[in-house]
Structure 1
Amino acid sequence: MSLPTKAMRDGLLEKRSSGLLQLWKKKRCLLTDEGLRLRSCKGPAAGHARSPCAAWSSGSRSKELPFENMVTLDCVEYKRGLVYFTVVMDTGKEIDFRCPQDGTAWNAEIALALVRYKNLQAVESGRKRHISAAHMCSTELDNEDL
């Protein structure tokens, strides 16, 4: 059973398309403790000041970028009031993003969440190794008594 994901941030982010023109497209993003969820900002709600994109719903199609598949976040550059950064996936794919420089930048929040996730995975892995080693030692001791 998996625990419900905690939403850390919700808002707009621009992602560079992978097509020939590599246009910047606005995406509605949800940063959770498991990764980043992206959804297109198309339709009548896209220009509305209060609701930049339609609300998240279970039926809406979104692209998932789980932290387990992310390697790092790098290439941070500041230009004309925007922060440009790249998420590198374990397949080698690089995904470019940009966001406004004012306030808390998305790149910092994603990087911190990624580090937190990787640290929790390392602790969990270490705990499993420790339990496995302790089990192996107790099994060896039990066999010596026979």
Structure 2
Amino acid sequence: MRSSGEVLREGELEKRSDSLFQVWKKKRGVLTTDRLKLFPTGLGARPKELRFHSIPKVDCVERTGKYVYFTIVTTDHKEIDFRCAGGSHWNASITLALLDFQNRRALQDFRSLRERTAAAAAAAAAAEQEPEEAGATGQS
């Protein structure tokens, strides 16, 4: 099993800006098991982090001659557009890492639910036995 924060991939991809002209800006992407970090080209600038817990899907994959275009959709319905070189497969890497994260989270949720259900059943069984034991000791 991969450890949280393990680097899966690094390289260049481009993000479309939110500005009026929507220019493509080169970023150094670092994909880990739980997020995508985007480092600007300037020195000393802080990276933008897209954490997988706030990303339900990677959408709108389109291939052109030179680029693959894709969109990351966030839980607040924001769409962030990216493009990468056709053979780099960034969209597939991000999608697979996101699915792996979602599967691990679903397993954790299931195990947690199962543990809570077992604890509640044990508490109910213990509560049922208490009155019986109190009645048995009161008769002596």
**TM-score w.r.t. length of structure 1:** 0.84
Q: What secondary structure is seen at the aligned counterpart in 1 of 2:80?
A: strand
Equivalent residues, number: 128
Q: 1:34 to 1:27 in 2, by over 3 A?
A: same
**Residue in structure 2 matched with residue 17 of structure 1 by the alignment:** 17
For structure 1, the residue ranges without an aligned partner over 5 or more in a row are 44-58
CA deviation profile, 1:61-110 (whole Å, cap 9, x unmatched):
110000000010010000122100000000100000000111x4000000
CA deviation profile, 1:44-75 (whole Å, cap 9, x unmatched):
xxxxxxxxxxxxxxx75110000000010010
Runs of 4+ in 1 over 3 A off after TM superposition: none
Q: Flag the structure with larger Rg.
A: 2
Letter in 1 for 2:116: S
The within-5 A match list for 1:1-146 is 5-42=5-42, 61-102=46-87, 104-146=88-130
Letter in 2 for 1:125: D
Answer 1 or 2: which has greater helix percent. 2
Distance 1:120 1:63 in 2: 24
CA deviation profile, 1:10-61 (whole Å, cap 9, x unmatched):
1100000000000000001100001100011136xxxxxxxxxxxxxxx751
For structure 2, the residue ranges without an aligned partner over 5 or more in a row are 131-140
Q: 1:91 to 1:123 in 2, by over 3 A?
A: same
RMSD: 1.3
**TM-score w.r.t. length of structure 2:** 0.87
